[in-house]
Structure 1
Amino acid sequence: MTSATHRSAEEIGRTATGPRELPPLGEQRAAADLAHTDTVLGNGLRVLAVRKPNVPMVELRMAIPFAGDDPAHPATAEVLAETIATGTRRRDRVAIDTELALIGGDLGTAVDPEHLSVSASSLASGLPTLLDVLADVLTEASYVDNEVRRESDRIVERLAVARTQPRVIAREALQRHRYGDHPYTREVPKPEDVAQVTPEAVRALHASAVLPRGSVLVLVGDLDPDAVIGDLERALSAWASEKAARELPALPVLRGGELLLVPRAGAVQSQLRLSAQSLPRTDPRYPALQLANLAFGGYFSSRLVENIREDKGYTYSAHSGFEFTGQNATVQVEADTANEVTAAALLETRYELGRLGLVPPTDADVESVRQYAIGSLLIGASSQAGLASQLLGLAAVGLGVEWLNGHPGRVAAVTTEEVAQAALDFFAPSRFTGVVVGDAETLAPQLTALGGVTVESTGS
């Protein structure tokens, strides 16, 4: 029989003799104290190779800057990402899949407004084959007509469903509200645009945009970091261009302001999305801001979760976290709520934002989030795949293993006072803007009465 009595996170953390004490934070070891090579190939591709031989595998991650101004670019890029590995001059789809299967490997691609990304893996003994397949895809992708048409049809169906999902609608609304018509906002192509993409357009985009100069490749696994550079030089020698891959234009600085209520008639739930300008990982204050974010809403025992999920039951999931785009950084706050408590959830969220600066985390709070931050980083770097993904995100902004190695120490050195200052400087409610997506007829009276919310015109 379960108890009907609700226990708060604080009560769960107590014993009959008092609060559960956190064990002391031990001496911090490096997140990735591994042999590595960080260099640029002759074709302009930056390569970060790391030896991590805990299993006889290799993980490969690549990011190619892939921005475009053409309104048709997102749709064409989506088709390219889905068809780039469906055939080359030397291999058809079956041959590619068969060769990868024989080395215990796979290869996948994805695209967003900033990058075309490649994710692959194989047995360490199969790395030469993996690199040969990768080079073939990068230089000889054929985009045969029937493959492009088939994948385009599948993308149209998938996007038609995706664009009805509340989270996708909320994300698109937030992007428009934050950045207007900046190319970064074009994350989900329109199905009708994808339906118009031709094989010729995909081939032309590949020739002009799938370029090594300015791109990043990360290899992590059972490998020799120095020797693999020569293997890459040979494998990718035909992938060359004097042009550089196209970077996304810089995002404007995000200013605080009113929230926009975006109508979604008949919706029984609302999506609350707040956003404010933050700090890049290279800023000396970033470790303190990272801990302030965790205390606010970055993990389950945070203030926001305790308030609007555990205490009041307004939402099943509330969260805050960072979004890094080039050298830009923002912090996002997210919660989905039932209509009848949306205004109350917004009120409590604003309250917790203000309270973080005015009643900052205590020494015990900071120690708790410090352990969470360092532990999460070390766990993420413990696997080959996790380390490769972490390093790709860092390498895309010019960082590498040295930054990852040093970050636990930087987090360990943060003081409670520095966290308090970061909370006051970056989590003030006035710094945030954002959207509420939901049924305007139901939500508008309470939200506009609460203040700081305007209703989007249905004619806009």
Structure 2
Amino acid sequence: MKRLLLLLTGLALATTPMLAQKQTPPEGGKPRDFTLPRRQVITLDNGLKASLVPYGDVPKVTVNIFVRTGNMHEKANEIWLSDLLAQLMQEGTTSRTAQALSEEAARMGGSISVYSNFSAMVISGSVLSEFAPALVSLLADVLTNPRLPASELERLKANLKRDLTVDKSRPQSQANEKFAAVMYPDQPYGRIYPTEEMLTSYDLAKVKGFYDTQFGAQRTQVYVSGKFDKDAVEKAIRSSLGNWRKGPAMNIPVAKPATAKSFALLDRPSAPQSTLIVGLPMIDPTQPDYVPMVVTNSLLGGSFGSRITSNIRENKGYTYSPYSSISSYYRGGTWSERADVTTEHTGASIREILKEVNLLRTTAPTKAELTGIQNYESGIFVLRNSSPGGIINQLSFIDFHGLDESYLTNYVKNVMAVTPERVQQLTQKYINPQNMTMIVVGDRSKVESQLTEYKPAGKLSGSK
């Protein structure tokens, strides 16, 4: 027995090195082009457009109604007015109470919502396929016949005030607000938060005035995706929205980011971390360099395996979740890197971010590094489009920016066509550290001395 145990032990020791040897993973499959489901586009006499996109076999359907208004049409003293309108629109129609709306959607196996963002007010719902025409009619009622009850106004304003207080207490929100104001001065894209006094001043007349001025068929696009009866849905769209008023013509403010660099330090006494944003103007999706620039951003800081993330997260341990992104508005946008870093490493973090930018400006990435990023970007693009909601988001994106459907069908091909030399050239062309705006929210007493090489002479812009 003892001899047998020794034999087995020897065999185990002999095979351990072989088992421990790292196996080379198989080469990944070639990224596939995205195939856009064929859509039927309908234009009503009043100017409203609808896109019907059959997709998948799951017996569900998603309907989104986009009205091209929202925060972008708010005046300087109307910030979040469209958000208040969106919440009031969920409080019922002239023929249905809020409870009746909710119960009717629930009986269809789903729910509805209304929300506002910079580029649209969206009324959406998702239900079982057999109820697609009924959902269209229900959402159309919310859109065209909102009750806007005065009895709910103060409650909803109080909710927005609480949201405002919570948001403004966060350093990330403070940095976002300052960055937007610096990049888009005197533009709606630069106005993120109202004051509490502004919210208090909103009355029902002002809310109704925004609806009357900004809503109409000419600004409205309906998207239907999933499994549904096309003829029945088209009939529902025509019957419930065909007689709606034309309203104002499409009018989308052009985003014009400031080109002058700026620096701001917002004091947050005793903060254990500093919130950083470094960024500059960036091209919009209509430009030929846009998709290659998406790849470049992903390699630089926009993915978990990106250079900046590997540097200040994995190697230095300055931060947990840094990221860079391209934010696109109409005919303009910004690139930015954002991170919450330890206070003592505030200056060092900025230094490492800029080092990675400069390295990519002077030296092209390897083919292997770039291929990994391309596979990642191609994969997540296809995943984004693997649901009815994802299809609608992509179609609304190209419609908003005036792009052809080939933007979507050629996306993977264009991602994979980017070369290492192109990445370097794009970084040189669009991401120049000398033009960057920097926003820091942190303990001024501990971080100001770390930032002397970045701030302009004299008092720090935006300091408190």
TM-score by length of 2: 0.89
Aligned residue pairs total: 443
Question: Which residue of the partner structure matches residue 12 of structure 2?
Answer: none
Question: Which residue of the partner structure matches residue 369 of structure 1?
Answer: 373
Question: Which residue of the partner structure matches residue 429 of structure 1?
Answer: 433
Question: Which residue of the partner structure matches residue 208 of structure 1?
Answer: 213
Question: Which residue of the partner structure matches residue 353 of structure 2?
Answer: 349
Question: Which residue of the partner structure matches residue 6 of structure 2?
Answer: none
Question: Which residue of the partner structure matches residue 37 of structure 2?
Answer: 34
Secondary structure of residue in 2 paired with 1:445: helix
Question: Which residue of the partner structure matches residue 72 of structure 1?
Answer: 77
The answer to whether the Cα contact below 8 Å between 1:112 and 1:187 also exists between their aligned partners in 2 is no
Q: Which amino acid aligns with 2:121?
A: L
CA distances 1:135-168 after superposition (whole Å, capped 9, x unpaired):
1111111111112222222222222222111111
Secondary structure of residue in 2 paired with 1:396: helix
1:128, distance to aligned residue in structure 2 (A): 1.7
The answer to whether the Cα contact below 8 Å between 1:261 and 1:455 also exists between their aligned partners in 2 is yes
The answer to whether the Cα contact below 8 Å between 1:280 and 1:328 also exists between their aligned partners in 2 is yes
Matched, 1:100 2:74: no
Change (3 A) 1:32 1:231: farther
Secondary structure of residue in 2 paired with 1:216: strand
The answer to whether the Cα contact below 8 Å between 2:63 and 2:136 also exists between their aligned partners in 1 is no
1:327, distance to aligned residue in structure 2 (A): 1.9
The farther-off stretch of 144-153 and 299-308 is: 144-153
The farther-off stretch of 237-246 and 196-205 is: 237-246
1:298, distance to aligned residue in structure 2 (A): 1.1
**Larger radius of gyration, structure 1 or 2?**
2
Question: Which residue of the partner structure matches residue 227 of structure 2?
Answer: 222
CA distances 1:389-418 after superposition (whole Å, capped 9, x unpaired):
232222221236432112111112222222
The answer to whether the Cα contact below 8 Å between 1:265 and 1:440 also exists between their aligned partners in 2 is yes
Q: Which amino acid aligns with 1:134?
A: L
Question: Which residue of the partner structure matches residue 51 of structure 2?
Answer: 48
1:282, distance to aligned residue in structure 2 (A): 2.6
Change (3 A) 1:200 1:221: same
Change (3 A) 1:118 1:187: farther
Change (3 A) 1:238 1:323: same
Q: Which amino acid aligns with 1:136?
A: D
Secondary structure of residue in 2 paired with 1:344: helix
Secondary structure of residue in 2 paired with 1:118: strand
Work out which of the residue numbers 439, 444, 448 in structure 2 matches 1:440.
444
1:304, distance to aligned residue in structure 2 (A): 0.3
Measure the CA separation in 1 of the matches of 2:175 and 2:257. Answer: 21
Q: Which amino acid aligns with 1:65?
A: R
The equivalences for 1:115-154 within 5 A come to 115-154=120-159
Change (3 A) 1:348 1:201: same
Question: Which residue of the partner structure matches residue 314 of structure 1?
Answer: 318
Measure the CA separation in 2 of the matches of 1:255 and 1:76. Answer: 29
Secondary structure of residue in 2 paired with 1:270: strand
The farther-off stretch of 113-122 and 284-293 is: 113-122
Structure 2 unmatched ranges of 5 or more? 1-18
Secondary structure of residue in 2 paired with 1:455: coil
The equivalences for 1:6-405 within 5 A come to 23-26=27-30, 28-29=32-33, 31-66=34-69, 67-224=72-229, 228-247=233-252, 249-255=253-259, 257-399=261-403, 401-405=405-409
Measure the CA separation in 2 of the matches of 1:140 and 1:187. Answer: 29
Measure the CA separation in 2 of the matches of 1:324 and 1:37. Answer: 27
The answer to whether the Cα contact below 8 Å between 1:177 and 1:260 also exists between their aligned partners in 2 is no
Secondary structure of residue in 1 paired with 2:429: helix
Change (3 A) 1:258 1:22: farther
TM-score by length of 1: 0.89
Measure the CA separation in 2 of the matches of 1:225 and 1:340. Answer: 60
Question: Which residue of the partner structure matches residue 420 of structure 1?
Answer: 424
Measure the CA separation in 2 of the matches of 1:370 and 1:235. Answer: 44
Change (3 A) 1:458 1:370: closer
Measure the CA separation in 2 of the matches of 1:34 and 1:291. Answer: 25
Measure the CA separation in 2 of the matches of 1:206 and 1:354. Answer: 48
Q: Which amino acid aligns with 2:108?
A: I
Structure 1 unmatched ranges of 5 or more? 1-14
1:17, distance to aligned residue in structure 2 (A): 6.8
Measure the CA separation in 2 of the matches of 1:336 and 1:376. Answer: 25
Measure the CA separation in 2 of the matches of 1:450 and 1:79. Answer: 40
Change (3 A) 1:363 1:446: same
The farther-off stretch of 97-106 and 419-428 is: 419-428
Measure the CA separation in 2 of the matches of 1:79 and 1:127. Answer: 28
Measure the CA separation in 2 of the matches of 1:16 and 1:427. Answer: 44
Measure the CA separation in 2 of the matches of 1:147 and 1:113. Answer: 24
CA distances 1:409-440 after superposition (whole Å, capped 9, x unpaired):
11122222222211221223123223111222
Q: Provide the alpha-carbon RMSD of the alignment.
A: 2.4
Question: Which residue of the partner structure matches residue 8 of structure 1?
Answer: none
